[in-house]
Amino acid sequence: STPAVMLSAMAAAARGGVLFKSSAAMDALARVNTVAFDKTGTLTQAKMTVARVLAAEHMEGGEAGALALAAGLESHSEHPIAQAVVTLARERGVAPVPVRNAQAVPGMGIEATLNGGELGSVQRAWAGNLRLMTREGASLSPAQDAALRELNAEGSSSVIVGVGARVLAVMGVSDTLRPGIAEAISSLRAAGVAHQVMLTGDKMEVAQAVAAQIGLTEYRAELLPEDKLRIMGELPGPLAMVGDGVNDAPALARADLGIAVASGTDVAIESADVVLMKNDLGKLAGAVKLAKDARRTVF
Protein backbone atom coordinates (compact mmCIF):
# COMPACT_ATOMS: atom_id res chain seq x y z
CA SER A 1 0.00 0.00 0.00
CA THR A 2 1.02 3.62 -0.47
CA PRO A 3 2.86 5.11 2.50
CA ALA A 4 0.96 7.89 4.24
CA VAL A 5 3.77 10.37 3.62
CA MET A 6 3.43 9.71 -0.11
CA LEU A 7 -0.35 10.21 -0.01
CA SER A 8 -0.03 13.48 1.83
CA ALA A 9 2.63 14.69 -0.62
CA MET A 10 0.31 13.78 -3.51
CA ALA A 11 -2.51 15.69 -1.82
CA ALA A 12 -0.27 18.71 -1.29
CA ALA A 13 0.79 18.62 -4.95
CA ALA A 14 -2.87 18.35 -6.02
CA ARG A 15 -3.71 21.46 -4.00
CA GLY A 16 -1.04 23.23 -6.04
CA GLY A 17 -2.64 22.00 -9.26
CA VAL A 18 -0.26 19.10 -9.97
CA LEU A 19 -2.30 15.90 -10.19
CA PHE A 20 -0.37 12.64 -9.80
CA LYS A 21 -2.26 9.62 -11.07
CA SER A 22 -0.25 7.25 -8.87
CA SER A 23 2.32 7.23 -6.09
CA ALA A 24 4.70 5.57 -8.59
CA ALA A 25 4.47 8.76 -10.67
CA MET A 26 5.44 10.89 -7.69
CA ASP A 27 8.34 8.57 -6.95
CA ALA A 28 9.46 8.84 -10.58
CA LEU A 29 9.39 12.64 -10.49
CA ALA A 30 11.76 12.64 -7.52
CA ARG A 31 14.34 10.81 -9.64
CA VAL A 32 13.94 12.71 -12.93
CA ASN A 33 17.22 13.89 -14.45
CA THR A 34 15.92 15.37 -17.71
CA VAL A 35 12.68 17.15 -18.55
CA ALA A 36 11.82 17.36 -22.25
CA PHE A 37 9.23 19.89 -23.38
CA ASP A 38 7.12 20.03 -26.48
CA LYS A 39 7.15 23.61 -27.78
CA THR A 40 3.78 24.47 -29.28
CA GLY A 41 1.01 24.42 -26.68
CA THR A 42 3.39 23.52 -23.88
CA LEU A 43 6.05 26.23 -23.67
CA THR A 44 3.79 28.47 -25.73
CA GLN A 45 0.06 29.05 -25.40
CA ALA A 46 -0.69 27.80 -28.91
CA LYS A 47 -2.86 30.86 -29.28
CA MET A 48 -1.51 31.64 -32.67
CA THR A 49 -2.27 34.52 -34.94
CA VAL A 50 -1.40 34.97 -38.57
CA ALA A 51 1.07 37.83 -38.65
CA ARG A 52 1.57 37.96 -42.37
CA VAL A 53 0.14 36.61 -45.64
CA LEU A 54 2.32 36.83 -48.70
CA ALA A 55 0.58 35.63 -51.86
CA ALA A 56 2.65 34.58 -54.85
CA GLU A 57 2.41 36.87 -57.86
CA HIS A 58 0.57 34.23 -59.86
CA MET A 59 -1.97 33.63 -57.07
CA GLU A 60 -5.49 34.21 -58.35
CA GLY A 61 -7.32 36.60 -56.02
CA GLY A 62 -4.11 37.70 -54.30
CA GLU A 63 -3.98 37.62 -50.53
CA ALA A 64 -7.69 36.80 -50.10
CA GLY A 65 -7.43 33.96 -52.62
CA ALA A 66 -4.45 32.51 -50.77
CA LEU A 67 -6.23 32.80 -47.44
CA ALA A 68 -9.36 31.13 -48.87
CA LEU A 69 -7.36 28.11 -50.00
CA ALA A 70 -5.36 27.92 -46.79
CA ALA A 71 -8.53 28.13 -44.69
CA GLY A 72 -10.19 25.43 -46.81
CA LEU A 73 -7.32 23.09 -46.00
CA GLU A 74 -6.79 24.11 -42.40
CA SER A 75 -10.49 23.80 -41.50
CA HIS A 76 -9.80 20.05 -41.55
CA SER A 77 -6.83 20.22 -39.17
CA GLU A 78 -6.73 20.47 -35.39
CA HIS A 79 -3.25 21.98 -35.26
CA PRO A 80 -3.07 25.38 -33.48
CA ILE A 81 -1.62 26.85 -36.68
CA ALA A 82 -4.74 25.71 -38.51
CA GLN A 83 -7.01 27.50 -36.07
CA ALA A 84 -5.12 30.75 -36.61
CA VAL A 85 -5.57 30.52 -40.36
CA VAL A 86 -9.29 29.67 -40.15
CA THR A 87 -9.85 32.51 -37.67
CA LEU A 88 -8.17 35.09 -39.89
CA ALA A 89 -10.30 34.01 -42.87
CA ARG A 90 -13.46 34.36 -40.78
CA GLU A 91 -12.37 37.79 -39.51
CA ARG A 92 -11.73 38.99 -43.04
CA GLY A 93 -14.96 37.50 -44.38
CA VAL A 94 -13.06 35.17 -46.71
CA ALA A 95 -14.97 31.95 -47.55
CA PRO A 96 -12.79 28.82 -47.33
CA VAL A 97 -12.29 26.95 -50.60
CA PRO A 98 -13.98 23.54 -50.29
CA VAL A 99 -11.56 20.62 -50.45
CA ARG A 100 -12.04 16.85 -50.34
CA ASN A 101 -10.16 13.92 -48.80
CA ALA A 102 -8.30 16.15 -46.38
CA GLN A 103 -5.56 14.28 -44.57
CA ALA A 104 -3.11 15.34 -41.89
CA VAL A 105 0.55 14.69 -42.64
CA PRO A 106 2.04 14.23 -39.14
CA GLY A 107 4.76 16.75 -38.30
CA MET A 108 4.34 18.46 -41.68
CA GLY A 109 0.86 19.83 -42.33
CA ILE A 110 -2.25 18.89 -44.26
CA GLU A 111 -3.15 17.96 -47.81
CA ALA A 112 -6.39 17.48 -49.76
CA THR A 113 -7.80 17.31 -53.23
CA LEU A 114 -9.16 20.34 -54.96
CA ASN A 115 -11.69 20.33 -57.78
CA GLY A 116 -9.95 22.01 -60.68
CA GLY A 117 -11.19 24.46 -63.32
CA GLU A 118 -13.73 23.93 -66.11
CA LEU A 119 -12.23 20.61 -67.18
CA GLY A 120 -12.85 19.27 -63.70
CA SER A 121 -9.26 18.24 -63.22
CA VAL A 122 -8.30 17.10 -59.75
CA GLN A 123 -5.34 18.77 -58.07
CA ARG A 124 -3.54 18.25 -54.82
CA ALA A 125 -3.56 21.19 -52.44
CA TRP A 126 -1.45 21.38 -49.30
CA ALA A 127 -0.47 23.64 -46.40
CA GLY A 128 2.41 23.03 -44.05
CA ASN A 129 6.12 23.38 -43.50
CA LEU A 130 9.17 23.27 -45.76
CA ARG A 131 9.39 19.52 -45.45
CA LEU A 132 5.87 19.12 -46.84
CA MET A 133 6.63 21.60 -49.62
CA THR A 134 9.70 19.62 -50.64
CA ARG A 135 7.70 16.40 -50.59
CA GLU A 136 5.21 17.99 -53.00
CA GLY A 137 8.06 18.88 -55.34
CA ALA A 138 7.62 22.63 -54.84
CA SER A 139 10.18 25.30 -53.99
CA LEU A 140 10.33 28.89 -52.79
CA SER A 141 11.17 31.92 -54.88
CA PRO A 142 14.10 33.98 -53.55
CA ALA A 143 11.64 36.61 -52.24
CA GLN A 144 9.54 33.98 -50.43
CA ASP A 145 12.68 32.42 -49.01
CA ALA A 146 13.85 35.79 -47.67
CA ALA A 147 10.43 36.50 -46.13
CA LEU A 148 10.40 33.14 -44.34
CA ARG A 149 13.90 33.60 -42.95
CA GLU A 150 12.91 36.98 -41.55
CA LEU A 151 9.78 35.55 -39.89
CA ASN A 152 11.63 32.56 -38.42
CA ALA A 153 14.40 34.75 -36.98
CA GLU A 154 11.69 36.58 -34.99
CA GLY A 155 10.40 33.26 -33.62
CA SER A 156 7.36 33.12 -35.93
CA SER A 157 6.50 29.82 -37.56
CA SER A 158 5.77 29.68 -41.23
CA VAL A 159 3.06 28.01 -43.27
CA ILE A 160 3.49 27.40 -46.96
CA VAL A 161 0.42 26.90 -49.12
CA GLY A 162 0.49 25.33 -52.54
CA VAL A 163 -1.24 23.37 -55.26
CA GLY A 164 0.79 20.62 -56.87
CA ALA A 165 4.35 21.82 -57.33
CA ARG A 166 3.39 25.50 -57.10
CA VAL A 167 3.80 27.58 -53.95
CA LEU A 168 0.84 29.98 -53.83
CA ALA A 169 1.50 31.72 -50.54
CA VAL A 170 3.67 31.87 -47.47
CA MET A 171 2.32 32.94 -44.10
CA GLY A 172 3.89 33.89 -40.81
CA VAL A 173 2.20 32.61 -37.67
CA SER A 174 3.18 33.90 -34.27
CA ASP A 175 2.57 32.29 -30.93
CA THR A 176 2.67 33.66 -27.37
CA LEU A 177 4.89 32.20 -24.68
CA ARG A 178 3.13 30.91 -21.60
CA PRO A 179 3.36 33.56 -18.88
CA GLY A 180 6.14 32.81 -16.39
CA ILE A 181 7.71 30.10 -18.53
CA ALA A 182 11.28 31.41 -18.13
CA GLU A 183 10.87 31.33 -14.34
CA ALA A 184 9.35 27.84 -14.53
CA ILE A 185 12.45 26.60 -16.35
CA SER A 186 14.92 28.21 -13.96
CA SER A 187 13.05 27.01 -10.85
CA LEU A 188 13.08 23.47 -12.20
CA ARG A 189 16.83 23.74 -12.64
CA ALA A 190 17.11 25.06 -9.08
CA ALA A 191 15.04 22.08 -7.87
CA GLY A 192 17.81 19.82 -9.14
CA VAL A 193 16.62 18.72 -12.59
CA ALA A 194 19.90 18.67 -14.50
CA HIS A 195 18.68 18.88 -18.11
CA GLN A 196 15.83 20.73 -19.78
CA VAL A 197 15.35 20.17 -23.47
CA MET A 198 12.84 21.53 -25.97
CA LEU A 199 11.71 19.09 -28.67
CA THR A 200 9.85 20.58 -31.60
CA GLY A 201 8.71 19.88 -35.11
CA ASP A 202 9.20 23.54 -35.91
CA LYS A 203 12.16 25.02 -37.75
CA MET A 204 15.62 25.36 -36.16
CA GLU A 205 15.55 29.18 -36.39
CA VAL A 206 12.19 29.35 -34.60
CA ALA A 207 13.37 26.92 -31.92
CA GLN A 208 16.52 28.97 -31.40
CA ALA A 209 14.58 32.22 -30.98
CA VAL A 210 12.11 30.66 -28.51
CA ALA A 211 14.86 28.91 -26.52
CA ALA A 212 16.77 32.17 -26.17
CA GLN A 213 13.63 33.98 -24.95
CA ILE A 214 13.00 31.46 -22.16
CA GLY A 215 16.56 30.59 -21.15
CA LEU A 216 16.76 27.05 -22.52
CA THR A 217 20.17 26.01 -23.75
CA GLU A 218 19.17 22.58 -25.07
CA TYR A 219 16.75 22.19 -27.97
CA ARG A 220 16.13 19.89 -30.92
CA ALA A 221 14.13 21.11 -33.90
CA GLU A 222 12.62 19.91 -37.18
CA LEU A 223 11.64 16.63 -35.55
CA LEU A 224 9.05 14.21 -36.87
CA PRO A 225 7.01 12.38 -34.22
CA GLU A 226 9.25 9.29 -34.60
CA ASP A 227 12.39 11.47 -34.23
CA LYS A 228 11.05 12.75 -30.92
CA LEU A 229 10.70 9.19 -29.63
CA ARG A 230 14.19 8.24 -30.78
CA ILE A 231 15.82 11.32 -29.21
CA MET A 232 14.02 10.68 -25.93
CA GLY A 233 15.88 7.38 -25.75
CA GLU A 234 19.19 9.23 -26.15
CA LEU A 235 18.64 11.83 -23.40
CA PRO A 236 20.06 11.20 -19.91
CA GLY A 237 17.30 9.49 -17.91
CA PRO A 238 15.14 9.13 -15.98
CA LEU A 239 13.19 11.30 -18.38
CA ALA A 240 9.98 13.28 -17.97
CA MET A 241 8.17 14.56 -21.05
CA VAL A 242 5.79 17.52 -20.90
CA GLY A 243 3.27 17.86 -23.73
CA ASP A 244 -0.24 18.84 -24.71
CA GLY A 245 -1.14 17.54 -28.14
CA VAL A 246 -2.51 14.42 -29.78
CA ASN A 247 0.91 14.16 -31.41
CA ASP A 248 2.59 14.17 -27.99
CA ALA A 249 0.67 11.14 -26.69
CA PRO A 250 3.23 8.54 -27.84
CA ALA A 251 6.06 10.55 -26.25
CA LEU A 252 4.13 10.97 -23.00
CA ALA A 253 3.53 7.23 -22.87
CA ARG A 254 7.16 6.41 -23.74
CA ALA A 255 8.78 8.71 -21.17
CA ASP A 256 9.57 7.43 -17.69
CA LEU A 257 7.09 10.09 -16.62
CA GLY A 258 4.51 11.71 -18.92
CA ILE A 259 3.27 15.15 -17.85
CA ALA A 260 0.28 16.69 -19.63
CA VAL A 261 -0.87 20.29 -19.64
CA ALA A 262 -4.59 20.26 -18.76
CA SER A 263 -5.46 22.67 -21.58
CA GLY A 264 -4.22 20.00 -23.95
CA THR A 265 -6.10 17.26 -25.73
CA ASP A 266 -7.87 14.40 -23.91
CA VAL A 267 -5.56 11.82 -25.39
CA ALA A 268 -2.50 13.64 -24.00
CA ILE A 269 -4.10 13.79 -20.57
CA GLU A 270 -5.00 10.09 -20.73
CA SER A 271 -1.46 9.11 -21.79
CA ALA A 272 0.19 11.06 -18.98
CA ASP A 273 1.09 10.09 -15.41
CA VAL A 274 0.83 13.65 -14.14
CA VAL A 275 -1.55 16.47 -15.16
CA LEU A 276 -0.83 20.16 -14.68
CA MET A 277 -4.40 21.20 -13.83
CA LYS A 278 -3.75 24.95 -13.92
CA ASN A 279 -1.64 24.81 -17.07
CA ASP A 280 1.13 26.29 -14.96
CA LEU A 281 4.56 24.76 -15.54
CA GLY A 282 5.81 26.92 -12.68
CA LYS A 283 4.16 24.42 -10.31
CA LEU A 284 6.45 21.60 -11.45
CA ALA A 285 9.47 22.67 -9.38
CA GLY A 286 7.40 22.62 -6.18
CA ALA A 287 6.12 19.15 -7.07
CA VAL A 288 9.71 17.95 -7.59
CA LYS A 289 10.60 19.19 -4.10
CA LEU A 290 7.55 17.51 -2.56
CA ALA A 291 8.39 14.28 -4.37
CA LYS A 292 12.03 14.37 -3.23
CA ASP A 293 11.07 15.06 0.39
CA ALA A 294 8.51 12.24 0.37
CA ARG A 295 11.02 9.83 -1.12
CA ARG A 296 13.64 10.75 1.47
CA THR A 297 11.15 10.08 4.24
CA VAL A 298 10.00 6.74 2.83
CA PHE A 299 13.38 5.22 1.97
**Positive or negative CA dihedral for 113, 115, 117, 120?**
positive
Binding-site member from 72, 96, 109, 282 for ligand ADP (CB under 6 A):
109
CA 126 to the chain's CA centroid? 20
**Positive or negative CA dihedral for 189, 251, 148, 54?**
negative
Binding-site member from 38, 111, 202, 280 for Mg ion (CB under 5 A):
38
Question: How many residues sit close enough to Mg ion to count as binding (CB under 5 A)?
Answer: 5
86 versus 188: smaller Cβ distance to ligand ADP: 86
Catalytic residue among 38, 248, 273, 280: 38
Q: Residue 55: beta bridge partners?
A: 169
Residue 40 is given by DSSP the state I
Do 8 and 292 touch, CB atoms closer than 8 A? Answer: no
Binding-site member from 201, 250, 258, 264 for ligand ADP (CB under 6 A):
201
CA–CA separation, 226 and 244 (whole Å)? 17
Residue 82 lies near ligand ADP (rule: CB under 6 A): yes
Residue 264 lies near ligand ADP (rule: CB under 6 A): no
Q: 24 Cβ partners below 8 Å, 6+ apart? A: 273
Sheet containing 166-174, strands listed edge to edge, beginning at the edge strand earlier in sequence? 49-55, 166-174, 157-163, 122-128, 109-115, 100-105
Burial class, 207, CB count within 10 angstroms (exposed 0-12 / middle 13-18 / buried 19+)? buried
Question: How many residues sit close enough to ligand ADP to count as binding (CB under 6 A)?
Answer: 22
- The interface with ligand ADP within residues 111-150 (CB under 6 A) comprises 127-129
Q: Residue 50: which of ligand ADP, Mg ion, none does it interact with, CB under 5 to 8 A by kind?
A: none
Residue 250 lies near ligand ADP (rule: CB under 6 A): no
Binding-site member from 107, 109, 162, 245 for Mg ion (CB under 5 A):
245
Is 145 annotated as catalytic?
no
CB of 290 to ligand ADP, least distance (A): 29
Residue 74 lies near ligand ADP (rule: CB under 6 A): yes
User: Given the rule CB under 6 A, which residues bind ligand ADP?
Assistant: 38-40, 74, 77, 79, 81-82, 107-110, 127-129, 157, 159, 200-202, 245, 247
